[in-house]
Chains A and B, each alone.
Chain A
């Protein structure tokens, strides 16, 4: 049985080539549906789509440079304990990591979902992408194809700070690999699990020959890892200098309007009933006037610090650093910085990296009898 197949790319159109291979999964009934990004009619954005007919894959962009939502959230909606239909989902590394965490949190059932991970070249903010896409169209080019071969400078900060920009071994069923090779000429699809091997067999039957990832892959990953680590260190040092004091923290969140967009965009904030929506958490005139009376005045809406600190406490040990919180913020609060910085600190304590190892237990679901000494002294 093959461990990887080779997907030849014609005329530099890697998305068509990859969509063709994925269509084979539908045609051969390996899965009943595909969750795959497609370009909108005017090319302004690229959104996830749920596809059941291979012929509906015309504008598929499995490799793209914009990420409107973290698709792990969509998988939460699509997963079933007693599957009626199978779905293969095309996921970026941060979406894959979030999906791995949600499986551990019992929010995604793997029974009906095949994870297709992929190497990631980074994403732009939605508005930046729209501009870039329009420029490319004016020049008569396909935006995704032209962006893939450019040196990127305006990627989202979280993409520059990304530590695992490829599908880490054992997290995906199938992994689409192109780092270190020439994406305009060829791609590889590797099986990381037994489920993946079965799917790969079907692709072999569809005519795809065996292959192996590009020779330059390791070196390219090492190069980008060093580059990103450099950015991340500076970015996080800046964050800690800015938010490491109560004044700094309060100033940072001073424009928060408590719209909860960050919570709703977060793939890890999965609670069906958030404590902040609970009746007993709603402020009453009496409670607000009482507080204003004690302190002389009260910021309104209140409890922004309580909200962000609670969210940190609840999900920081599983934060996958996708940065969707910051994308969703109408006032550009640097919440992704705050969460990435604290995720690093907290996950380090438990020797855990969210989404990296499906077998590693969640920090808050396990314990050792002897650990964390000094906390109770």
Chain B
């Protein structure tokens, strides 16, 4: 599809990935403007409901970004996020909702470059996958 620009919703933890995104900006790393960041206190605080809501309302991809394993500001939030995301991915896969549109990445506050690269990679991947079917699907 020509002219297709994916929309990505990102749930970024306050302590690592959000700060990493900030660093990417301050450091002037280029990344595609397809990313809508939502700042949350911890990746473990992201209820799967919000991810599902973003997907069924037509986001082409969702990124959950947290601290690297072992570095969680709240000790174990990211480990719990990993378990929740595992369940969610399993459900998306089993029910034909395309689990490739959900990414979980650990990006620290010092990894501005990694943040920019991740968003670039995800945008490219979503361009390959094409628009989410939920953009058109109305019987929800």
Contacts and interface: CB of A to CB of B under 8 A. Distances in A.
B91 A342 contact: yes
Contact of B79 (A302, A342, A367): A367
Given A306-B49, A375-B86, A297 B138 contact: yes
B41 interface: no
Interface string B59-100: 000000000011000001001101111111111001111000
A369 B87 contact: no
B23 interface: no
Contact of B139 (A299, A341, A376): A299
A217 B82 CA distance: 42
A211 B109 CA distance: 66
Given A317-B87, A364-B84, A375-B86, A246 B139 contact: no
Contact of A375 (B80, B104, B138): B104
Contact of B96 (A244, A312, A314, A375): A244
Interface stretch (A40-48, A195-203, A226-234, A247-255): A247-255
A369 B69 contact: yes
A313 B97 contact: no
Interface stretch (A29-37, A66-74, A98-106, A288-296): A288-296
Given A299-B139, A372-B86, A376-B104, A306 B91 contact: no
Interface string B13-49: 0000000000000000000000000000000000111
B90 A291 contact: no
Contacts, number: 108
Contact of A299 (B94, B95, B138): B138
Interface in A332-377: 341-342, 345-346, 349-350, 363-364, 367-369, 371-372, 375-376
A344 B64 CA distance: 25
Interface residues of B, number: 37
A246 B90 contact: no
A246 B83 CA distance: 24
The majority secondary structure among interface residues of chain A is: helix
B128 interface: no
A12 to B, nearest CB: 46
**Chain A interface bracket (under 10, 10 to 19, 20 to 34, 35 or more):** 35 or more
A249 B139 CA distance: 11
A316 interface: yes
A76 interface: no
A313 B94 contact: no
Contacts of A275: 47, 49
A254 B138 CA distance: 11
A154 interface: no
A99 B139 CA distance: 36
Interface in A43-72: none
A295 B134 CA distance: 9
B70 A369 contact: yes
A304 interface: yes
B82 to A, nearest CB: 6
Interface of B: 47-49, 52-53, 56-58, 69-70, 76, 79-80, 82-91, 94-97, 104-106, 133, 135-140
Given A305-B56, A363-B87, A368-B79, 15 more contacts: A246-B95, A246-B97, A247-B96, A295-B135, A295-B136, A295-B137, A304-B140, A306-B52, A309-B56, A309-B91, A312-B91, A317-B87, A346-B90, A375-B82, A376-B82
